[in-house]
Amino acid sequence: MIHKYKLCGYNVVLDVNSGGVHIVDDLTYDLLTDVKPPFSEKCPEEVVEKLSKAYKTDDIISCYEEVLEAYKEGVLFSEDDYEQYANVAVASPIKAMCLNIAHDCNLRCEYCFASTGDFGEGRKLMTYETGKKAIDFLLTHSANRENLELDFFGGEPLMNFDVVKQIVEYARSREEEYGKKFRFTITTNGMLLDDDKIDFINKEMSNVVLSIDGRKEVNDRMRKRVDGNGCYDRIIPKYRKLVDKRGDKEYYVRGTYTKYNLDFSEDVFSLVDAGFDQISVEPVVTDPCDPYALTEKDLPVIFKEYEKLMKRILDYEKTGKRFNFFHFMLDLDQGPCAIKRLRGCGCGNDYVAITPDGDIYPCHQFVGEEAYKMGNIDEGTFNYEMKSDFAKMHIYTKPDCCDCWAKFYCSGGCNANNYQYAGDTRKAHVMSCEIEKKRLECAIVLKAIRMGESADPSENE
Amino acid sequence: MKHIKTINKANLKATAAKGGCGKCQASCQSACKTSCTVANQKCER
């Protein structure tokens, strides 16, 4: 399978199964519409005849020879032989956990998937005892996995920060005995950040996600305090301080865009102007009936905006400065292995979420979905059958993914979004897919341009 | 080649045989928590 597209004057051809990426001229682009395996040694006459209306015969023939060479080399129309790996997909050790440390929040963000913090289950904070049991659960279910990940999530985790500190201390105290290394991360709205919390986070958390939507008016329209006022002015100086003191450690300022700010490249650059260089701004995923929901009608505008963002990033880089936009990051050489790409996020299999009541869910997005409750930490229950079912959740068991060119980049998307908005964990959520594909197309061209590749392949020797 | 410039030959197939060690970060734990991209993750083997 190949995927070809035109963007920014570039003709790009992806060989889906090998991961090969090619820049081609117009002739090759057109030729690839008409030829596919099995290939004959010579270009079929009808193809030469068709293309000779626009191209010279000698060029068509030499172009065909190059296509044939790439095919023989296994970087064009390569075979899909991954299903053999997918078919042996078995339950993995649990290595990552989302700890919903507080089902409470001090903001009332309009688009919150957690129903303003309590996931529809009442406002609660996790106790240290439950947190400890969650750590023990991870230690005893992680088999030979050395790197264990624990994300403090909510609600708003800073509302229960003493317990966060206690859990970190407890987990660290067990690392040596179990031969494990914990990587802590935290996602916060920043309202309660102070010097002590900043120092603790910068010391212990390998990544911190700081929520903010971009421009003040955009942020404050959705991210409101309990009294209805926006939070921008309060959080910006706190985020600046945290980032300034953080050194080289990873962080992201992370925003959500909605129908209200389809010009979200302005929000990305507003965050750049505010002094941040690790940025993620993502589409809201919600009920299409919500007034701020993104719908298929918005897609052409969203696509144009990603192209605009890409061009603005390139212009910005010409000034010698650089920032990182999460969804344009793509490592074509050293990315994850094919096995990881078959299964994606691993929710319900190597990743689970724990609520303040100790309930276990496949991930934070499933919390509150009674049908997907996997067990309870306090009661010592865990549904291994459900875990096995999630282990089999990969691109070859998702009919919409099998024939999609982006399957090895997105790995089947978000199972929870699929369930909530497409009705089935294995059914693709079309909006998410379309946006993901556009981001990937932009990311690949951005990569080519950064590598100094010309749009004309003959100039790239 | 005159017509095709291959900018990346990364052979995913080679990674399939040796892959699956599980050392890498869970993709949803990185920056997103709502939307998946796996190809922007690092292999940590």
Q: Please report which confidence band the pLDDT of residue A344 belongs to, taking 50, 70 and 90 as the band edges.
A: confident
Whether A379 and A130 have beta carbons less than 8 Å apart is answered as no
CA distances from A410 to A73, A85, B39 (A): 25, 18, 7
Give pLDDT, residue B12: 84
Query: For residue B37, what is the nearest residue in chain A, using CA coordinates?
Result: A410
Separation between Cα atoms, residue A34 and residue A13, nearest integer Å: 14
Query: For residue A284, what is the nearest residue in chain B, using CA coordinates?
Result: B34
Q: Please report which confidence band the pLDDT of residue A381 belongs to, taking 50, 70 and 90 as the band edges.
A: very high
Separation between Cα atoms, residue B17 and residue A396, nearest integer Å: 18
Classify strands A147-154 and A124-125 as parallel, antiparallel or unpaired: unpaired
Is 60 exceeded by the pLDDT of residue A223? yes
Whether A334 and B43 have beta carbons less than 8 Å apart is answered as yes
Give pLDDT, residue A460: 61
Whether A154 and A100 have beta carbons less than 8 Å apart is answered as yes
Q: A181 in contact with B at a CB cutoff of 8 Å? A: no
Give pLDDT, residue A89: 67
Q: Please report which confidence band the pLDDT of residue A337 belongs to, taking 50, 70 and 90 as the band edges.
A: confident
Alpha helices (H) in A257-296, listed in sequence order:
265-273
| A249-293 confidence digits (pLDDT tens) | 999 999 999 999 999 999 999 999 999 999 999 999 999 999 999
**Contact (CB<8Å) B8/A335:** no
Q: Can you name the residues that pair with A96 across neighbouring β-strands?
A: A149, A351
Is 70 exceeded by the pLDDT of residue A38? yes
Q: Please report which confidence band the pLDDT of residue A343 belongs to, taking 50, 70 and 90 as the band edges.
A: confident
Cβ neighbours of A413 in B, within 8 Å: 36
Separation between Cα atoms, residue A434 and residue A384, nearest integer Å: 33
| A408-424 confidence digits (pLDDT tens) | 998 889 999 999 999 99
Percentage of residues in chain A with pLDDT exceeding 70?
Answer: 99
Mean predicted confidence (pLDDT) in A21-42: 97
Q: A155 in contact with B at a CB cutoff of 8 Å? A: no
**Contact (CB<8Å) A337/B22:** no
Query: For residue A60, what is the nearest residue in chain B, using CA coordinates?
Result: B3
Q: Please give the interface size between A and B, counted as residue pairs whose CB atoms are below 8 Å apart.
A: 231
The pair of structure tokens assigned to A431 is: 């909006």
Query: For residue B23, what is the nearest residue in chain A, using CA coordinates?
Result: A147
Give pLDDT, residue A459: 84
In this prediction the pTM is 0.95
Between the two ends of chain B, the Cα-to-Cα distance in Å is 34
Separation between Cα atoms, residue A428 and residue A414, nearest integer Å: 9
CA distances from A77 to A3, A29, A59, B17 (A): 10, 14, 21, 20
Lowest mean pLDDT among A6-20, A165-179, A395-409, B7-21: B7-21
- Computed on alpha carbons and rounded to an integer, the radius of gyration of chain B in Å comes to 15
Amino acid at A300: P
Q: Please report which confidence band the pLDDT of residue A217 belongs to, taking 50, 70 and 90 as the band edges.
A: very high
Min Cα separation A395/chain B (Å): 13
Q: A340 in contact with B at a CB cutoff of 8 Å? A: yes
Mean predicted confidence (pLDDT) in A238-251: 97
Left (φ > 0), alpha (ψ -120 to 50) or beta: where does A209 sit? beta
**Contact (CB<8Å) A20/B2:** no
Give pLDDT, residue A461: 55
| ipTM for the predicted complex | 0.91
Query: For residue B35, what is the nearest residue in chain A, using CA coordinates?
Result: A414
Is 80 exceeded by the pLDDT of residue A305? yes
Whether A48 and A57 have beta carbons less than 8 Å apart is answered as yes
Mean predicted confidence (pLDDT) in A183-210: 97
Cβ neighbours of A21 in B, within 8 Å: 6-8
DSSP labels, A89-110: -------EEEEEEEE--SB--T
Q: How far is CA A31 from the centre of its chain?
A: 34
Give pLDDT, residue A43: 97
Mean predicted confidence (pLDDT) in A96-116: 92
Give pLDDT, residue A292: 97
Q: A457 in contact with B at a CB cutoff of 8 Å? A: yes
Give pLDDT, residue B42: 81
Q: Please report which confidence band the pLDDT of residue A124 belongs to, taking 50, 70 and 90 as the band edges.
A: very high
Q: Please report which confidence band the pLDDT of residue A84 belongs to, taking 50, 70 and 90 as the band edges.
A: confident
Min Cα separation B24/chain A (Å): 8
Mean predicted confidence (pLDDT) in A132-148: 96
Give pLDDT, residue A119: 83
**Contact (CB<8Å) B32/A282:** yes
Q: Which residues contact A432 (CB under 8 A, 6 or more apart)?
A: A283, A285, A413, A414, A417, B35
Min Cα separation A339/chain B (Å): 5
Q: Please report which confidence band the pLDDT of residue A82 belongs to, taking 50, 70 and 90 as the band edges.
A: confident
Mean predicted confidence (pLDDT) in A204-228: 96
Give pLDDT, residue B31: 62
- A229-247 core/surface letters (b: 16 or more CB in 10 A; e: else): ebbbeebbebbeebbeebe
- Closest-CA residue to A328 (of A193, A178, A242, A445): A445
Taking 70 as the pLDDT cut, the residues of chain B under it are 29-36
